[in-house]
Amino acid sequence: MSNTTKDEGVLSHLDEAGQIRMVDVSGKASNLRTAIAEGRVSMSASAYQLLSARENAKGEVLNTARLAGVLAAKRCAELIPLCHTLPLSFVGIEFFPDDAAHSITVRTTCRSDYKTGVEMEAMVACSIAALTIYDMCKAADKGIILEQIRLRYKSGGKSGEWHND
């Protein structure tokens, strides 16, 4: 990890008395912000083969997961109580199959030209895309594992650029 911020160790959603609060962004300037999140969906060889062969009875799994992830990013403020509603200028979702590990890496990118970051939107999009893959493949394998969902990159705002390589 790199580029720690001067606010490290501070919980911005708690006030001085320890009560929850929505962060006030009214004084912040709008600027381009980007966040990339990533996670992995691991499954049995037989479920992965069905997914790869597009023989899943519920339809085309990855396109459905892509659409679900985009919709989730757009509704992030409805799911996470203290998130700001913000205008997204881009939501992209990519899938990277690993045939040897019977897994799919889900990578989501969100962008906005607004006063607050898009990390939560990227994380929610990644989580929901992964959950959609689970939902559509669970008939073949109920033991599918969603793992390592994390922020990989963010830019913009006062903390600038941050990497989690």
Higher-confidence position of 4 and 36? 36
Contact 158, 23 (CB under 8 A): no
Q: How far apart are CA 154 and CA 144, in angstroms?
A: 29
Catalytic residue among 24, 99, 113, 135: 135
What SS3 class is residue 111?
A: strand
Contact 94, 38 (CB under 8 A): no
Contact 65, 132 (CB under 8 A): yes
Instruction: Tell me the per-residue pLDDT of 79-134, one tens digit each, with 9 for 90 and over.
Output: 998 889 999 999 999 999 999 999 999 999 999 999 988 999 999 999 999 999 99
Please tell me the CATH code under which domain 31-163 is placed: 3.30.70.640
Q: How far apart are CA 116 and CA 83, in angstroms?
A: 9
Higher-confidence position of 45 and 14? 45
Instruction: Tell me the per-residue pLDDT of 22-77, one tens digit each, with 9 for 90 and over.
Output: 777 887 888 999 999 999 999 999 999 988 775 554 458 999 999 999 999 999 99
Q: pLDDT > 70: what percent of the chain?
A: 91
Mean of pLDDT over the chain: 88
Active site residue 135: yes
Where are the domains positioned within the chain? Answer: 31-163
